[in-house]
Chain A
Amino acid sequence: MVNEAIQAIRKRLLDVMDPELPFLNVMEMGMVREIYTDGEGIVIQITPTYSGCPATDVIADDVLEAAQSIHEQSRIEIIRSPAWTTDWITEEAKKKMERNGIAPPSGQSADKAYLLGKERVIPCPRCKSAETLLVSAFGSTACKAHYQCKHCMEPFDHFKCI
Chain B
Amino acid sequence: MTKDEHFEWLLWLADDALILAQRLSEWCGHAPVLEEDIALSNIALDLIGQSRAFYAHAGQLEGLGRDEDQLAFFRTDRDFRNLLLVEQPNGDFGDTIARQFFFDQFALLRFTHLAQQSFDTEVAAIATKALKEVRYHAAHSAEWMIRLGDGTEESHQRIQESVNRLWEYTGECFEPNSFQTAAEKANVLPHAESAHKEWLATITSILSQATLSVPNGTWMQKGGRQGGHSEHLSYILAEMQVLPRTYPDAQW
Contacts and interface: CB of A to CB of B under 8 A. Distances in A.
A146 B136 CA distance: 13
A80 B132 CA distance: 13
Interface in B121-141: 121-122, 124-126, 128-130, 132-133, 135-136, 139-140
A84 B129 CA distance: 8
Contacts of B50: 51-52
Given A83-B125, A83-B128, A142 B135 contact: no
A54 B139 contact: no
B132 A110 contact: yes
A39 interface: no
A48 B130 CA distance: 12
Nearest to A117: B139
A51 B36 CA distance: 20
10 contacts: A48-B129, A50-B46, A51-B50, A52-B49, A82-B128, A83-B125, A135-B35, A137-B136, A138-B38, A138-B43
Contacts of A54: 45
A80 B46 contact: no
Contacts of A142: 42, 45-46
Contacts of B47: 52
A91 to B, nearest CB: 22
Contacts of B140: 137-138
Contacts of B126: 51, 80
Given A110-B135, A142-B46, A51 B129 contact: yes
A80 B46 CA distance: 15
Contacts of A83: 125, 128-129, 132
B133 A50 contact: yes
Interface in A116-162: 117, 135-140, 142, 146, 160, 162
Contacts of A117: 139
Interface residues of B, number: 30
Nearest to B115: A83
Contact of B139 (A114, A135, A146): A114
Interface string A29-70: 000000000000000000010111110000000000000000
B18 to A, nearest CB: 11
A80 B122 contact: yes
B139 A115 contact: yes
A51 B45 CA distance: 8
B39 interface: yes
Interface of A: 48, 50-54, 80-84, 110, 114-115, 117, 135-140, 142, 146, 160, 162
A138 B34 CA distance: 11
Contacts of A110: 132, 135
Nearest to B138: A115
Nearest to B21: A52
A31 to B, nearest CB: 13
Contacts of B52: 51-52
B85 interface: no
B53 interface: yes
A80 B53 contact: yes
A121 B124 CA distance: 32
Given A51-B50, A80-B125, 11 more contacts: A50-B46, A52-B47, A52-B50, A80-B126, A80-B128, A80-B129, A81-B125, A114-B136, A137-B39, A138-B39, A139-B38
B157 to A, nearest CB: 25
A110 B135 CA distance: 9
B247 to A, nearest CB: 20
